[in-house]
């Protein structure tokens, strides 16, 4: 059972970091043999990253919807993220090549893929976690009580 941090807390963003949203959309449900390996390789990459303290990967959380899988990831920097993605000794780069060889993005592709890379900068991000287990950006970088100069959204935007 996750530990609940009671009260109001906010992420302690002192340096820029990165929110990386990545997902797949199953276009053809019956082609199980094509999309299950894509979903499985995502899990393997998260496991690879979770074991490497120097990768710059911070946390990940997976969300499932009808036909869609979304993974919400936090990274220390875009350099770390792109370094991982293009390192031929890690799981991602070969999976990228394999994806275009087996599936691709042409008409009739059985799986759709997407990602969005968002740089989170102090002064441009506001967060609140009320009586929640560690979550989102707060889980990735830690939190402070949302009191005093962090009491309201406007104040939090001004301090971090
Ligand atoms: C931890 C999970 C993952 C991370 C952090 C990640 C990250 C990235 C990044 C940063 C890029 C951009 C690389 C560049 O253009 O220089 C990229 C591209 C790509 N990734 Fe991933 N990825 C992940 C999982 C996957 C999975 C599971 C697949 C499919 C098996 C995949 C397939 C691709 C493909 C095909 C591209 C090229 C897209 C294009 O520009 O056409 N990725 N990924």
Express each pLDDT in 52-109 by its tens digit. Answer: 999 999 999 999 999 999 999 999 999 999 999 999 999 999 999 999 999 999 999 9
Rounded distance from Cα 113 to ligand 1 centre (Å): 9
Cα-only R_g, the chain:
18
Taking residue 138's Cβ as centre, other Cβ atoms within 10 Å add up to: 23
Short-list 70, 46, 67, CA closest to 110: 67
Average pLDDT, the chain: 96
* CA 42 / ligand 1 centre spacing (Å): 10
Task: Note the pLDDT of residue 97.
Answer: 97
Q: Which domains does the chain have, with CATH numbers?
A: 5-13+121-159 (no CATH), 17-119 (3.30.70.100)
Grade residue 160 by pLDDT with cuts at 50, 70 and 90: low
DSSP state of 88: T
**pLDDT single digits (tens) 107-121:** 999 999 999 999 999
Spell out which residues line ligand 1, taking CB within 6 angstroms: 20, 22, 38, 41-42, 45-46, 49, 81-82, 84-86, 92, 95-96, 99-100, 113, 115
Q: Where are the alpha helices (DSSP H) in the chain?
A: 32-50, 78-86, 92-102, 136-141, 153-159
- For the entire predicted model, the pTM comes to 0.97
Taking alpha carbons only, the member of 89, 104, 83, 94 closest to residue 41 is 94
């Amino acid at each position: 059972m996750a530990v609940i941090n009671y009260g109001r807390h906010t992420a302690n963003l002192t340096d820029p970091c990165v929110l990386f949203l990545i997902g797949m959309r199953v276009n053809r449900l019956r082609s199980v043999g094509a999309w299950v390996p894509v979903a499985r390789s995502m899990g393997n990459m998260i496991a690879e990253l979770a074991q490497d303290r120097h990768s710059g990967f911070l946390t990940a959380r997976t969300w499932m919807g009808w036909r869609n899988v979304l993974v919400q990831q936090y990274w220390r920097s875009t350099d770390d993220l792109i370094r991982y993605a293009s390192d031929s000794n890690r799981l991602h780069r070969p999976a990228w090549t394999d994806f275009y060889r087996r599936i691709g993005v042409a008409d009739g592709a059985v799986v759709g893929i997407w990602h969005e890379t968002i740089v989170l900068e102090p002064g441009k991000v506001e967060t609140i976690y009320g009586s929640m287990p560690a979550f989102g950006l707060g889980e990735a970088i830690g939190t402070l009580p949302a009191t005093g100069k962090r009491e309201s959204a406007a104040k939090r935007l001004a301090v971090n």
